[in-house]
Amino acid sequence: MTRIIIYFVIYLFGISVAIAQVKSEEIIIHNEAIELPGTLTFSKENTPLIIWVHGSGPVDRNGNQPAQNVKANYIKQFRDAVNKENIAFFSYDKRTANKNNQDFLKDTKVRDFAFDLEKVVHHFHNEKRFSEIILIGHSQGSLIAMLAPKNADKYISLAGAGETIDKTIVKQISKNNPTLGEAAQQQFDTLRIKGKIEVIHPFLMSVFAKQNQPFLYSWMQLNPLEEIKKLTIPILIINGDKDLQVKIEDAKALHAVNKNSRLAIIENMNHVLKEIQKEEDNLKSYYSSEFPISEKLIEAIVQFVKK
């Protein structure tokens, strides 16, 4: 019995030491007036560094959107998982998640997120503390990371669309209301031709509100299939088969146009990277950190990063 207790104590001590080895640094990176505060975690230097590129919305460094009650904490869970594999990790509050940036967001376009990312990559490239830099672009971030590959050694698309944003939005709307989907297509056609929409469909105001139109217009000009063709670094394309927002077909389309890419479909993983066994838990996982991140996802990431 005494020996069992000793082994148990040693085991707990080993765990505490491993946890203590993870160092954390709070870093603020600037893109002119824009502040990008983030958290760097690592066990030691001269290891691979993953830089996380956010999806749409005012997402913070942990994967939450407090104003929308989104508390999935999926980026924090991802960070903890890769740190255990001796991989460094940096994520930052997206420019739209930082209140200090509010006065500078009026004219933000999609490429501005890529310019932010370039500043982040440049910071760590100049430091030379880590052996290589891997960009992980999640959802909208998949496209953003494609636009800023300079000084990156590898690229991972995680639940990234394989088509322009107008096609994605029309499909999502049509799934629930085909008639409204047709109206959305007409609104996008008008925006594409005229650069603005004067008469907005009353049921589509949240999508095509006047203040949203310049950003949408800039976004729909960018085709992920064309952008990923330009990448010459190793590529891993990942999608979950429980993703309600981005389908497996998108991942396959991205994979098909770049021979440098590998494709991984993660069983039972949804859009916020959680392992889902029950369909009714899919949306619930967006609002709770109680759902675990997919272990199969972490395995695929680690294998690619360390190869």
For residue 210, what are the CA distances in angstroms to 23, 96, 168, 195? 45, 18, 20, 11
Sketch out the chain's domains with CATH numbers. Answer: 24-156+225-306 (3.40.50.1820), 165-221 (no CATH)
CA distance 273 to 292: 9
Give 80-90 pLDDT, tens digit per residue: 999 999 999 99
Biggest alpha carbon–alpha carbon distance for the chain: 79
Burial class of 154 by CB neighbour count within 10 A (0 to 12, 13 to 18, 19+): buried
pLDDT exceeds cutoff 70 at 1:
no
Token pair listed for 249: 């077909």
Give the mean model confidence (pLDDT) for residues 216-236.
Answer: 97
pLDDT, residue 63, reads: 92
CA distance 179 to 197: 19
pLDDT level of residue 18 (50, 70, 90 thresholds): very low
pLDDT exceeds cutoff 60 at 191:
yes
pLDDT, residue 127, reads: 94
For residue 175, what are the CA distances in angstroms to 97, 142, 304? 30, 23, 35
Give the residue from 125, 80, 74, 115 showing the smallest Cα distance to 94.
Answer: 115
Residue 214 CA neighbour count, 13 Å, CB half: 8
pLDDT, residue 307, reads: 85
Cα 131 to the center of its chain, rounded Å: 22
pLDDT, residue 90, reads: 98
Give 55-68 pLDDT, tens digit per residue: 988 889 999 988 77
Q: What is the DSSP string of 99-141?
A: GGGGGG-TT--HHHHHHHHHHHHHHHHHHT-SSEEEEEEETHH
- What's 204's DSSP letter? G
CB 82 within 8 A of CB 15: no
CB 238 within 8 A of CB 298: no
Query: Mean pLDDT of all residues in the chain?
Result: 92
pLDDT exceeds cutoff 90 at 2:
no
pLDDT, residue 271, reads: 96
Number of other residues whose CB lies within 10 A of the CB of residue 253? 17
Number of other residues whose CB lies within 10 A of the CB of residue 282? 17
67 Ramachandran zone, left/alpha/beta (phi>0; psi -120 to 50): alpha
